[in-house]
Structure 1
Amino acid sequence: MVLLFDFIYRQFIHEPPPPTASFKGKTVIVTGGSGGLGLEACRSMIRLGASQVIIACRNIEKGKAAAKDLEATTSCSSGTIQVWNLNLSSFSSVQAFSKRVAAELPRVDAVLANAGIATRTFRISEDNEETITTNVVSMSLLAFLLHPKLRETASKHNTQTHLTITGSELYEVAAFKESKVPDGQIFATLNNKSTANMSDRYNVSKLLDLYVLREFAASFPVSSSGVIINCIAPGFCSSELHREHSNAFTNFLIRILARKAEVGARTLVYGASAGKETHGQYVPDCKIKAPQKGLGENSELQHRVWTELKKKLELIQPGVTSLT
């Protein structure tokens, strides 16, 4: 009932304020920047002065079309926008993208980890069900691989940089029955097609993202890293996240209930410019909110997930979780 009232308030009464923070001279990376919330976040940050925006997406042609749209609507200078390939269903793509960032970008001020999928079809990608690979494992791998560049930028330019994860209030309704297994078996259970509850899978992925956020932020304090790590929630928005659920009824609900992508994108831009008080915090609609579902600092389940995840990441790239 509380979630329902919160949904009504956010969708029909309150909306996040338009961003005003300056991005002058900054370089930002937006995963999933070719459409929906990511595209609108790019547009907003360019208008706020960003000197370079990297649209990270799996479909380069779509990314180039998005870049043309941004250039036409913002009148930004040539070279402001670049389109780079990043496929979060492929660990090698994440690694190649991260190497390119380290080699070609003099600085990175913000990474908006916005790309994600919502599907009820069980598909294996790499060694996981695809939602888990895309929304959780690859997102975490990317975070570990780009964190050194964010730290370097913060130190070199005497500033604070940002790693912002796009979350969802749907984590609150995650049943996460897969957690009721012995230690070390959570991800294996999530990858079992015969028992997979795909109607709950997106919700679970966003709960896991919050676990990752809290553990990652605790591992890299702002005081020593200069990197602010937070998780935003844009609300129910008209975006490409719902593309696999497109039907007359869903489209009708989106038309009458969903926020415009530009409104939801305001939360992404806020996250990428917020103060250090948001480090390790869940920040829906530009306000810090205490997470529900027993997400305490010493959550046993949180630590179990984090321990399993780090083992998976170490198998993908040995030493990645100990980068300093």
Structure 2
Amino acid sequence: MDMRTFLYNQLFVTLPYPTADHSGQTIIVTGANVGLGLEAARHFTRLNAEKVVLGVRNLEKGEAAKKSIEETTKRKGVVEVWQLDLTSYQSTKQFVNRAESLKRLDAVVENAGIATPEYRVAEDNEATITTNVVSTYLLGLMILPKLRETGTKFNITPHLVIVSSEVHARSSFPERSSANIFKTLNDKETANMADRYNVSKLLEVLYTRELAARTKESGKPQVIINFLNPGLCHSSLAREIEGWVFYIMKALLARPTEHGSRTLVHAAEAGSETHGQYLSNCCITEPSAFVTSKEGAEAQKRVWDELSQKLERIQPGIMANV
């Protein structure tokens, strides 16, 4: 996306205000104690969802978010706060195991993520990769059977939504030329942390596209899997990123948090035509030129193979869910 398009989107595009009725539905939103996740959860609650689960790392902040939602929507007994720390595979597994006991599960909005310039290790990867990529799909693939079960039982098509970003287009993804992409990403000596968030979002785009294609061909009950760009928004995501240029850009151009959250709600309501598609401004949009190129297709297969092998080691049998 060029700068002119970015500026137009940020300053002049008005996103549709969510109005669809979610009566009877159960919806999970991760990273929901602040920012886009909180505002999306507020919308789902306002729109009559029966249960809205906030997946949060900090339970105290999650309870504060719940209180805020209840005060603004005047609906109590709807929001639940569940522990979820994507830097921990065990926490991610426990969250899914708890979700399996739900009466139904209509949509999972995977919004949780981190953006940090600091190299840190979580589980067997640099923390950004563990959080934004590995645990995101550990949760997504483990929870697919519950979504399919709901679809069959209630005659609906559930949603698995990945909150990605337009910054996936900003990385040249040099790690793809290495013998092992994830091993290279985890090398502290060569890790380009200035590009790490961008790379993590590109990995999301590539893996989601492949996942959507494979689930469509699996013959199993369909789940709409899509991924979206909320645009530059006021949120706490970039709280570790410093610099006056970024600060001024956010002050001048960032969408209000509620405005950006509409993209999350839209993706969780969108039709089957969005399966495997990248959504921006609440519309199906082409991802970056690299993603749709021959080189991008090759990288997509490699990312699929490497990450799938990693997920199978973490949770044996998980790839059978695809």
Q: Secondary structure at the match of 2:108?
A: strand
1:101-250 paired onto structure 2 within 5 Å: 101-103=99-101, 105-182=102-179, 185-221=180-216, 224-246=220-242, 250=246
Q: Secondary structure at the match of 1:307?
A: helix
1:282 to 264, 267, 278: 278
1:69-84 paired onto structure 2 within 5 Å: 69-77=68-76, 79-84=77-82
Cα deviation 1:115-142 (Å, max 9, x = unaligned)? 0000110011100000000000000100
Taking the aligned partners of 2:56 and 2:293, their CA distance within structure 1 comes to: 33
Number of residue pairs aligned between Structure 1 and Structure 2: 319
1:273 and 2:269 are equivalent in the alignment? yes
1:10 and 2:6 are equivalent in the alignment? no
1:97 to 91, 95, 98: 95
Identity %: 48
Once the two structures are TM-superposed, the CA of residue 12 in structure 1 deviates from its matched residue by: 0.6
Q: Secondary structure at the match of 2:193?
A: coil
Taking the aligned partners of 1:297 and 1:106, their CA distance within structure 2 comes to: 42
Say whether the 8 Å CA contact 1:167–1:231 is kept in structure 2: yes
Say whether the 8 Å CA contact 2:88–2:123 is kept in structure 1: yes
Q: Normalising to structure 1: TM-score of the pair? A: 0.95
1:47 and 2:46 are equivalent in the alignment? yes
Q: Secondary structure at the match of 2:146?
A: helix
Say whether the 8 Å CA contact 2:277–2:284 is kept in structure 1: yes
Which 4+ residue blocks in structure 1 deviate beyond 3 angstroms?
246-252
Taking the aligned partners of 2:2 and 2:227, their CA distance within structure 1 comes to: 18
User: Residue type of the partner of 1:96?
Assistant: Q
Greater alpha carbon shift after TM alignment, 207-216 vs 294-303: 294-303
Once the two structures are TM-superposed, the CA of residue 293 in structure 1 deviates from its matched residue by: 3.0
Corresponding residue for residue 29 of structure 1? 28
Once the two structures are TM-superposed, the CA of residue 295 in structure 1 deviates from its matched residue by: 2.1
Say whether the 8 Å CA contact 1:282–1:290 is kept in structure 2: yes
Change (3 A) 1:252 1:292: closer
1:85 and 2:83 are equivalent in the alignment? yes
Say whether the 8 Å CA contact 1:31–1:57 is kept in structure 2: yes
Taking the aligned partners of 1:288 and 1:147, their CA distance within structure 2 comes to: 23
Taking the aligned partners of 1:68 and 1:277, their CA distance within structure 2 comes to: 36
Q: CA-atom RMSD, angstroms? A: 1.5
Once the two structures are TM-superposed, the CA of residue 256 in structure 1 deviates from its matched residue by: 1.4
Taking the aligned partners of 1:297 and 1:275, their CA distance within structure 2 comes to: 26
User: Residue type of the partner of 2:100?
Assistant: A
Once the two structures are TM-superposed, the CA of residue 323 in structure 1 deviates from its matched residue by: 2.1
Say whether the 8 Å CA contact 1:175–1:200 is kept in structure 2: no
Question: Structure 2 stretches of 5 or more lacking a match?
Answer: none
User: Residue type of the partner of 2:194?
Assistant: S
User: Residue type of the partner of 2:305?
Assistant: T
Greater alpha carbon shift after TM alignment, 223-232 vs 243-252: 243-252
Question: Structure 1 stretches of 5 or more lacking a match?
Answer: none
Q: Secondary structure at the match of 1:236?
A: coil
Say whether the 8 Å CA contact 1:214–1:297 is kept in structure 2: no
Taking the aligned partners of 2:189 and 2:246, their CA distance within structure 1 comes to: 27
User: Residue type of the partner of 2:51?
Assistant: Q
Taking the aligned partners of 2:312 and 2:222, their CA distance within structure 1 comes to: 24
